[in-house]
């Protein structure tokens, strides 16, 4: 039974291994009374506590086999154990993080109750990955050796140099499952439990604590096919009430300091707009353009601010995307731009009338193509009215381009480059410079081209939103009506449609004769 838990006051692990059948011939150690007859052993092991195996006892007893200061330290500890009556563990031992055998990961061995376990290829390859601590430093001369190219690396060389740079301390709880008289042979060593602790304090125990799942099984190869069972339990003592309260106070102090640090980064004052002002943030993206005739597309766009709208001095209201090659997607050629842009603008309320709503800014754009000789062609014009509702919006806008009669213009566009262009891009809608009553486009020929996809994240900020939600008063101003999120998306559309219908009715009444209007009115009022 192996246990490893939250290492707070006294980290420890309890290991217990038992064999299902006892061998017939006892070893010399058991004959002298040093080994239990029922082949059952239990050990409580602390974090990085060293328990020597029979192989290590035989190895470090000879002082000439010691190669490092750690080996000589083990030599002295083994001599002290012999003077005090020898070691108490026989089959269960450990490899700590500083041992030369710590880089040995779990190899292909059965550690489950299934008789048909098959180790996957990923598990076999990951078993050769070694995690080293960051405080390890290369030995002398390693700088020169690291520059030498090893054309035929060995398996040990690959395993030792395949490093994951994660500071991890490792400890192995092992078992010597050899037969009587054969203890201390490396081929009978098996991993019972692997404990790893990283720099973040995360403890990894593999396999997990036993609990109610039953004991783990290890099947030995050979004539007898011995079956060993072992369990894993947490042997760490419970934390005292005083230590737990002290730990909670430390955590609380740490969290409060971290909160003060974050508040210092953000600031104590939240930036608010002036009264009667609406701030509009737009984090947009030109996603793609599809359905155009030529390749190597780019988009030029600019934002038009209507009356009562303004923008900061640092705000750029225009931009150009990168030139993007198209790829086949079904029947269309699609150019993926993924070009981000940010817009910030302010609306200052001046008219308090009930029926007036602000005109929203319009984003005009044109799609152009670039040929091999760096000549551009206009592929299409379009416009997008920024959404009046906050949130996320995906818009696919169709485009068109002007054309001339005959084939000469198309031949010129293909061979020489260039095409009919608009002097004013706002001509896509009603130009801002137009002051008349009727805009005639008779004789202006166009051709439908592809479409451009936009993603817009809109955010609105105003003091009127806060006041209307807090006081529950009747919405009187324009900004108050914009604050109604449930009605905001359709309010502008409904009012605009109502005003158009009202103008049509007035024009129809003006076109009718006066006597017909009076007759209709008198007929309506008759009972």
CB atoms within 10 A of CB 367: 25
Q: Work out the percent of the chain whose per-residue pLDDT is above 90.
A: 16
What average pLDDT does this structure show over 18-23? 46
CB atoms within 10 A of CB 297: 27
Say if residue 299 is in the same domain as residue 414. Answer: yes
Q: Is residue 82 part of a domain?
A: no
Output the six-digit token pair for 497. Answer: 């449609």
Say if residue 98 is in the same domain as residue 132. Answer: yes
Task: Determine the pLDDT at residue 115.
Answer: 63
At 467, the pLDDT band (50, 70, 90 cuts) reads low
Indicate if the pLDDT at residue 135 is higher than 50.
no
- d(C-alpha 293, C-alpha 320), whole Å: 20
Predicted confidence (pLDDT) per residue in 390-436, tens digit? 899 999 999 998 887 777 777 777 777 667 778 888 888 877 777 77
Predicted confidence (pLDDT) per residue in 500-513, tens digit? 777 778 777 777 66
- 296: nearest Cα among 319, 326, 320: 326
Range of the domain at 249: 242-269
More confident residue, 235 or 139: 235
Predicted confidence (pLDDT) per residue in 299-310, tens digit? 999 999 988 889
Say if residue 215 is in the same domain as residue 327. Answer: no
Say if residue 207 is in the same domain as residue 262. Answer: no
Q: Is residue 191 part of a domain?
A: yes
Say if residue 255 is in the same domain as residue 158. Answer: no
Task: Determine the pLDDT at residue 520.
Answer: 43
More confident residue, 288 or 130: 288
Q: Is residue 74 part of a domain?
A: no
Answer whether the bond into residue 454 is a cis peptide, omega within 30°: no
Task: Determine the pLDDT at residue 28.
Answer: 33
Say if residue 263 is in the same domain as residue 352. Answer: no
Point out which residues pair with 191 in neighbouring strands. Answer: 174
Say if residue 163 is in the same domain as residue 294. Answer: no
What average pLDDT does this structure show over 95-108? 65
Q: Is residue 221 part of a domain?
A: yes
- d(C-alpha 4, C-alpha 7), whole Å: 8
- d(C-alpha 177, C-alpha 192), whole Å: 11
Q: Is residue 20 part of a domain?
A: yes
Which H, E and C letters describe 65-94, residue by residue?
HCCCHHHHHHHHHHHHHHHCCCCCCCCEEE
> What average pLDDT does the chain have?
75
Task: Determine the pLDDT at residue 482.
Answer: 56
At 519, the pLDDT band (50, 70, 90 cuts) reads very low
More confident residue, 519 or 74: 74
Top-ranked range on mean pLDDT: pick from 223-227, 264-268, 345-349, 423-427: 345-349
CA atoms within 13 A on the CB side of 249: 6
In angstroms, what CA-CA distances link 41 with 92, 181, 218?
Answer: 8, 17, 15
At 351, the pLDDT band (50, 70, 90 cuts) reads low
Say if residue 262 is in the same domain as residue 360. Answer: no
Among 114-128, 135-149, 286-300, 399-413, whose mean pLDDT is lowest? 135-149
**Lookup result for tokens 């701030």:** 279
Say if residue 221 is in the same domain as residue 288. Answer: no
Indicate if the pLDDT at residue 7 is higher than 80.
no
Say if residue 264 is in the same domain as residue 312. Answer: no
Q: Work out the percent of the chain whose per-residue pLDDT is above 70.
A: 69
Task: Determine the pLDDT at residue 453.
Answer: 95
Point out which residues pair with 346 in neighbouring strands. Answer: 279, 310
Say if residue 265 is in the same domain as residue 357. Answer: no
Q: Is residue 68 part of a domain?
A: no
Indicate if the pLDDT at residue 375 is higher than 50.
yes
Indicate if the pLDDT at residue 127 is higher than 50.
yes
Q: Is residue 5 part of a domain?
A: no
Say if residue 204 is in the same domain as residue 257. Answer: no
- How many structural domains does the chain have? 4
DSSP helix, strand, coil percent of the chain (3-state; round to 5):
25, 30, 45
Q: Is residue 61 part of a domain?
A: no
Which residues, in sequence order, are CB contacts of 517 under 8 Å at separation 6+?
Answer: 509
Predicted confidence (pLDDT) per residue in 225-255, tens digit? 788 888 888 888 888 888 889 989 998 999 9
- Kindly report the backbone phi and psi dihedral angles of residue 278, in degrees, each rounded to the nearest multiple of 5, phi listed first: -115, 125
């Amino acid at each position: 039974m192996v246990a490893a838990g939250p290492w707070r006051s006294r980290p420890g692990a309890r290991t217990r291994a038992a064999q299902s059948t006892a061998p017939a011939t006892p070893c010399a150690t058991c004959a002298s009374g040093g080994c239990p007859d029922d082949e059952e052993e239990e050990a409580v092991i602390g974090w990085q506590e060293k328990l020597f195996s029979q192989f290590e006892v035989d190895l470090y007893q000879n002082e000439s086999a010691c190669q490092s200061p750690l080996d000589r330290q083990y030599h002295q500890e083994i001599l002290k154990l012999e003077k005090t009556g020898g070691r108490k563990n026989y089959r269960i031992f450990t490899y700590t993080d500083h041992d030369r055998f710590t880089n040995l990961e779990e190899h292909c061995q059965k550690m489950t109750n299934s008789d048909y376990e098959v180790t996957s290829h990923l598990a076999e390859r990951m078993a050769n990955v070694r995690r080293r601590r960051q405080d390890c430093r290369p030995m002398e001369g390693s700088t020169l050796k690291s520059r030498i190219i090893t054309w035929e690396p060995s398996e040990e060389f690959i395993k030792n140099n395949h490093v994951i740079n994660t500071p991890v301390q490792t400890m192995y709880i092992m078992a010597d499952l050899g037969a009587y008289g054969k203890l201390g042979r490396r081929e009978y060593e098996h991993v019972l439990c692997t404990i790893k602790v990283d720099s973040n304090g995360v403890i990894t125990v593999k396999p997990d604590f036993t609990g109610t799942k039953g004991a783990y099984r290890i099947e030995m190869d050979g004539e007898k096919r011995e079956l060993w069972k072992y369990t894993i339990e947490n042997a760490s003592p419970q934390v005292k009430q005083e230590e737990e309260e002290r730990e909670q106070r430390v955590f609380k102090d740490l969290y409060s300091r971290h909160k003060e640090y974050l508040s210092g980064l953000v600031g104590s004052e939240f930036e608010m707009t002036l009264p009667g002002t609406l701030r509009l943030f737009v984090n947009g993206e030109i996603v793609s353009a599809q359905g155009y005739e030529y390749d190597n597309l780019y988009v030029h766009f600019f934002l038009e601010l209507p009356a009562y709208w303004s923008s900061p001095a640092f705000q750029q209201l225009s931009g150009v995307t990168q030139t993007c090659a198209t790829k086949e997607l079904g029947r269309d050629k699609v150019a993926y731009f993924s070009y981000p842009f940010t817009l910030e603008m302010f609306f200052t309320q001046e008219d308090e009338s009930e029926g007036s709503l602000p005109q929203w800014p319009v984003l005009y754009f044109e799609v152009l193509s670039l040929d091999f000789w760096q000549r551009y062609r206009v592929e299409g014009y379009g416009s997008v009215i920024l959404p009046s509702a906050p949130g996320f919006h995906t818009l696919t806008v169709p485009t068109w381009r002007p054309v001339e009669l005959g084939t000469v213009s198309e031949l010129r566009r293909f061979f020489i480059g260039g095409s009919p262009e608009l002097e004013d891009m706002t001509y896509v809608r009603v130009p801002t410079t137009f002051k008349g009553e009727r805009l005639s486009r008779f004789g202006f020929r166009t051709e439908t081209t592809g479409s451009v996809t936009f993603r817009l994240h809109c955010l609105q900020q105003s003091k009127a939103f806060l006041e209307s939600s807090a006081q529950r008063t009747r919405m009187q101003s324009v900004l108050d009506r914009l604050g109604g999120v449930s009605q905001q998306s359709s309010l502008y559309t409904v009012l605009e449609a109502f005003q158009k219908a009202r103008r049509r009715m007035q024009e129809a009444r003006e076109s009718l004769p006066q006597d017909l209007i009076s007759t209709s009115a008198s007929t309506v009022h008759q009972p």
